[in-house]
Amino acid sequence: MTTRILVTGGAGFIGSHYVRTVLGPAGPGDVSVTVLDKLTYAGNPANLDEVRAHPGFDFVQGDICEPELVAKLMAEHDQVVHFAAESHVDRSIDGGAEFVRTNVVGTHTLIDAAHRAGIGVFVHISTDEVYGSVDEGSWPETDPLAPNSPYSAAKASSDLIALSYHRTHGLDVRVTRCSNNYGHHHFPEKVIPLFITNLLDGRKVPLYGDGGNVRDWLHIDDHVQGIELVRTRGRAGEVYNIGGGTELSNKELTGLLLEACGADWDTSVEYVADRKGHDRRYSVDCTKISRELGYEPRKDFREGLAETVRWYRDNRAWWEPLKERAAL
């Protein structure tokens, strides 16, 4: 029997890779996918060209905050994987209203409709940023939420709303919290694609503050692997951290990107004022998903970074119009 999956935000960076993977030759083979995406600036229909002709693929352009549309789609599906979100921290600092609307109101619209439609599994994709900042050690899923940006606060709120429907109504909700993703098809406002595309164009890259902020990097292949383990084998009402196992300071990351792009530090790096409320370090403890579901990151970071640089070098037609429109 085919499982009908509704994927929200499936034209974005991570969502589209999830769709390409599950409908690809290495996918489970027993699923069909409907993508619901508003196609905001970060949603790109070209990200789905690879699967557009697949008999198990459908696309609906629409807003997750539209109750009638959402209710109609829920009635036609068995499971939900919910990626749709406003996700750029800098944009949330400039104005948080759209983040609250999409991440909080949108998630509530979806989860309430899923409950009323009797959806079997609802996987809610979240972020390690909901935990705040940690100087030492790593966060287990039981740590309290302490978000520091309007973006992460909106995501933390959406986590709590989603989990409340499990506790109140018994809906099978499973939450994933990932570390920083990287890979191909990443919208060039985020640090790795922004730095790569700037360096390929011979432009400077902006390094916040002293460059000492630390992030754990997760390749999208590994993230999708973790999501599928949670969708197919996870437990209802549980939260699962998904990390990549490569912690780097932004200064260390910049050095690796300069090396991969053949650029020089002195002529290519520009120090800029630090981001407001910039979290110093993120680090997730992945013991739970490893022990329960057998997850382990497989992609070597240097190999993944080299592949990513190569993809942006070979796909200027994909990213140049995006940078021009956004004036990045």
Two tokens at 127? 């972020």
Cα end-to-end span (Å), the chain:
46
Residue 102: which residues within 8 A CB-CB, separation 6 or more? Answer: 64, 65, 84, 85, 86, 154
Residue 151 is a catalytic residue: yes
Decide which of 99 and 172 is more confident.
Answer: 172
Q: Look at residue 277 and tell me whether its pLDDT is greater than 80.
A: no
pLDDT in tens, 283-324: 999 999 999 999 999 999 999 999 999 999 999 999 999 988
Look at residue 98 in the predicted model and tell me its pLDDT: 86
Percent of the chain residues topping a pLDDT of 90:
87
Calculate helix-pair angle for 301-314, 191-200, nearest 10 degrees: 50
What is the radius of gyration, based on Cα positions, of the chain? 19
DSSP state, 263? -
Residue 49 is a catalytic residue: no
Look at residue 218 in the predicted model and tell me its pLDDT: 98
Catalytic residue among 129, 159, 216, 279: 129
Catalytic residue among 18, 151, 295, 312: 151
Q: What is the mean pLDDT of the chain?
A: 95
Q: Look at residue 261 and tell me whether its pLDDT is greater than 60.
A: yes
Look at residue 94 in the predicted model and tell me its pLDDT: 78
Q: 3-181+219-242 belongs to which homologous superfamily?
A: NAD(P)-binding Rossmann-like Domain (3.40.50.720)
Q: Look at residue 165 and tell me whether its pLDDT is greater than 80.
A: yes
Q: Is 67 helix (H, G, I), strand (E, B) or coil?
A: helix
Domain range summary for the chain, segments of one domain joined by +: 3-181+219-242, 182-215+246-277+300-326
Q: Other CB atoms closer than 10 Å to residue 115's CB: what's the count?
A: 18
Q: CATH number of the domain at 182-215+246-277+300-326, please?
A: 3.90.25.10
Q: Is 328 helix (H, G, I), strand (E, B) or coil?
A: coil
Amino acid identity for residue 300 in this structure: D
Residue 13: which residues within 8 A CB-CB, separation 6 or more? Answer: 42, 47, 181, 183, 185, 186, 187, 220
pLDDT in tens, 203-219: 999 999 999 999 999 99
Cα–Cα distance for residue pair 184/146, rounded to 1 Å = 30
Decide which of 83 and 189 is more confident.
Answer: 83
Phi, psi dihedral angles at 197 (to 5 degrees): -70, -35
3-state secondary structure 131-193: HCCCCCCCECCCCCCCCCCHHHHHHHHHHHHHHHHHHHHCCCEEEEEECEEECCCCCCCCHHH
pLDDT in tens, 59-76: 999 999 999 999 999 999
Cα–Cα distance for residue pair 248/129, rounded to 1 Å = 16
Residue whose tokens read 């439609």: 117
Look at residue 328 in the predicted model and tell me its pLDDT: 57
Calculate helix-pair angle for 13-22, 220-233, nearest 10 degrees: 60
Cα–Cα distance for residue pair 230/250, rounded to 1 Å = 30
Residue 129 is a catalytic residue: yes
Two tokens at 2? 């085919």
Catalytic residue among 128, 141, 216, 279: 128
pLDDT in tens, 88-143: 777 777 778 889 999 999 999 999 999 999 999 999 999 999 999 999 999 999 99
Considering the entire predicted model, what is its pTM?
0.96
Q: Look at residue 260 and tell me whether its pLDDT is greater than 80.
A: yes
Provide the H-helix boundaries in the chain. Answer: 13-22, 67-74, 89-94, 97-99, 107-117, 150-169, 191-200, 220-233, 250-261, 265-268, 287-293, 301-314, 316-326
- Cβ proximity of 214 and 280 under 8 Å: yes
